[in-house]
Amino acid sequence: MTLCILAGCAFFTTGCWNGRLLVCAEQPYWTSLGDDLRVRASLALASLPKGYIPRVLVVGAPAGLSKTVAGGRFGTVVVGPLISLEAFELARAFPRTRFLLVGVSPGAEAPPNAAVLVFARAEAFRAAGYAAGQSVLGEAGGAGAPGARIGVLAAAGTDAAARDRDAFAGGVSDALGGALPVAREIDAPIDRAKAKAAVEQMRKDGVEIVLLRLGAADPWCLEAMKEAGGCAVVSDWASSRAYPAQVFLSVEDDLIGGIARFLDRAARGNRVVDGPVLLVEGEARKVPEDARAKGGAR
């Protein structure tokens, strides 16, 4: 019933249907976004008012996509991470279809009918650092200098997340008048024991809030924090809801919001679509009001 109402709204607000929308996603990525029905409902809410009829296709490989696109007469196709890298030929085969590729570098040689969805996270990490700094400043009884109560725990020898770490440190500096967080790196391979030991040592040093940039090892750190104390700033945590009492803030890519921007008339012809990035609050400690306003945490 809700979808029918949305479809009617789309007709009266847009004046016509813009066509059928196909969203192709690889199974682990799609399920990581959260409850499947909720994600599909959010997609419908984002696309139907703009005049698009959405269909979701969960696939393990892109081999059969060409037949699906041709048979369904889709005017717009969104291709999720892990299969986006193989979607260039698909886009070239259907030059009248608009494609949005997720998880592909903007510098990639995409065909003219394809746009790339990009999530610029630096500002969100800066806002998270600012919130962490404001939090330790506003909490009475904390031991040590404010900067020493915030840390960064990262994998050694990798620079993929260096920009995010620098932005976080910049936010901490903004809040604390120039003070920077304590940085610690773990050599690869990172296992549960190393992650646990690193968390325990940082807690002994007085660190209360940690930016985690260990990738797959981040959940081990959250698990260790259940005993060692402290909390973390993480990435893409909200959908899994793992260890909410150990999460201060999570930086989240808003895929549905990015698709909605792609479907706007103003975005037609754009080769890059800027996807919104959200700050989602955990349950570890309250986010200061001024930091919430600054970073858009919710």
Torsion angles phi and psi, residue 287, rounded to 5: -85, 125
CB of 74 within 8 A of CB of 23? no
Quick: pLDDT tens for 107-166.
767 789 999 999 989 999 999 999 999 999 887 555 568 889 999 999 987 666 788 999
CA distance linking residue 292 with residue 298, whole number of Å: 8
Q: For position 113, what pLDDT does the model report?
A: 92
Residue among 287, 158, 177 at smallest CA distance from 233: 287
Domains of the chain: 2-118 (3.40.50.2300), 122-252+280-295 (3.40.50.2300)
CA distance linking residue 34 with residue 7, whole number of Å: 25
Which of the four pLDDT bands, split at 50, 70 and 90, describes residue 48?
A: very high
CB of 225 within 8 A of CB of 243? yes
Q: What is the rounded average pLDDT of the residues 182-201?
A: 95
CA 105, chain centre distance (Å):
16
* Residue 65 to residues 30, 31, 108, 252, Cα–Cα distance (Å): 16, 19, 21, 28
CA distance linking residue 162 with residue 164, whole number of Å: 5
Return the number of other C-beta atoms located less than 10 Å from residue 129's C-beta.
33
Mean pLDDT of the chain: 85
CB of 240 within 8 A of CB of 257? no
Is the per-residue pLDDT at 251 higher than 50? yes
Q: For position 58, what pLDDT does the model report?
A: 86
Q: What is the rounded average pLDDT of the residues 274-284?
A: 93
Which of the four pLDDT bands, split at 50, 70 and 90, describes residue 298?
A: low
Render the burial of 133-148: b for 16+ CB within 10 Å, e for the rest: bbbbeeeeeeeeebbb
Quick: pLDDT tens for 9-40.
444 444 456 889 999 888 777 777 777 888 89
Q: What is the rounded average pLDDT of the residues 68-78?
A: 88
